[in-house]
Amino acid sequence: MNPQDRSEQGIYLSIVAPAHNEMENLPRLLGEIAAALASCAHPWEVIITDDASTDGTPSVLQDLRKKYSQLRVLSMRRRSGQTAAVDAGLRHARGTFVATLDADLQNDPADIPRLLNLLEAQPQQCGFVNGWRANRHDPWIRLVSTRIANRVRNWLTHEQIHDSGCGLRVFRRECIDRVKLFNGMHRFLPTLVKMEGYQVMEVPVNHRPRTAGKAKYGVLNRVFKALRDAFAVRWMQQRVLRYECREWER
């Protein structure tokens, strides 16, 4: 679907959330999103990508579709991981603007209108507002490991992103049209967007402790994979194509 086709759908904001075994969190998530956008004057949609959940997530989503007309559901045929679930949602999004957030309720949907308003007020070249969990509510071991990972990631990629792993982001749809995600690369979206020539702004957002469901990442399966991915992004930065050309006039 090209950008013109999307705009013809009349959707202003698409909210994308990947979910795997989040049946307990999804009703509250949809309720909070609806409350946050109750005063929104433009059409919006929510896309939940069910990453082959093994709990009651599909049946919960079936019930939620009856309650929320804005809800669209994508089902992964097999467990494909968070990056694939995010990418599927992004490619199906019809909005002029897109927001992403995690389905575990640690991101606060009430922050979405604020980030959207900030982005709308920026020039076109500022295409991406990244959430920054300045006051995180996570176990101390995760806080320490994430801080170390962020510093190493920034050192390798020559970045100054405080929180590249925050799931809460709002951006212009066109700034990711040419971004191709590989496994694990959803954490590097701010850097990948910069490589496309757009500016990225970081904004502190609310962060909440997980109260239901189980975390999908531990220290080991997050830190070392993120380090490997940082080397891959550094390689891409060094080889990104940058050129200007014009066609001759007749």
Q: What digits encode the pLDDT tens for the residues 56-96?
A: 999 999 999 999 999 999 999 999 999 999 999 999 999 99
CATH (domain of 221): 3.90.550.10
Question: Is 103's pLDDT higher than 50?
Answer: yes
Please check whether residue 249 lies inside any domain of the structure.
no
Please check whether residue 246 lies inside any domain of the structure.
no
**The Cα angle at residue 17 between residues 162 and 174, in degrees rounded to 5:** 70
Confidence of residue 4 (pLDDT cuts 50, 70, 90): very low
Please check whether residue 108 lies inside any domain of the structure.
yes
Instruction: Supply the pLDDT for residue 231.
Output: 78
Q: How many domains does the chain have?
A: 1
Question: For residue range 166-211, what is the model confidence (pLDDT) as tens digits?
Answer: 899 999 999 999 898 888 888 889 888 988 889 999 999 998 877 7
Instruction: Supply the pLDDT for residue 8.
Output: 47
Please check whether residue 244 lies inside any domain of the structure.
no
Question: For residue range 114-133, what is the model confidence (pLDDT) as tens digits?
Answer: 999 999 998 888 999 999 88
The DSSP symbol for 1 reads: -
Please check whether residue 245 lies inside any domain of the structure.
no
Average pLDDT over the chain reads 85
Please check whether residue 107 lies inside any domain of the structure.
yes
Please check whether residue 247 lies inside any domain of the structure.
no
Domain that holds residue 211: 3-239
Long-range pairs for 210-217: beta carbons < 8 A, 24 or more residues apart:
210/104, 210/105, 210/106, 211/105, 212/24, 212/25, 212/105, 213/21, 213/22, 213/23, 213/24, 213/25, 213/104, 214/21, 215/104, 216/20, 216/82
Please check whether residue 124 lies inside any domain of the structure.
yes
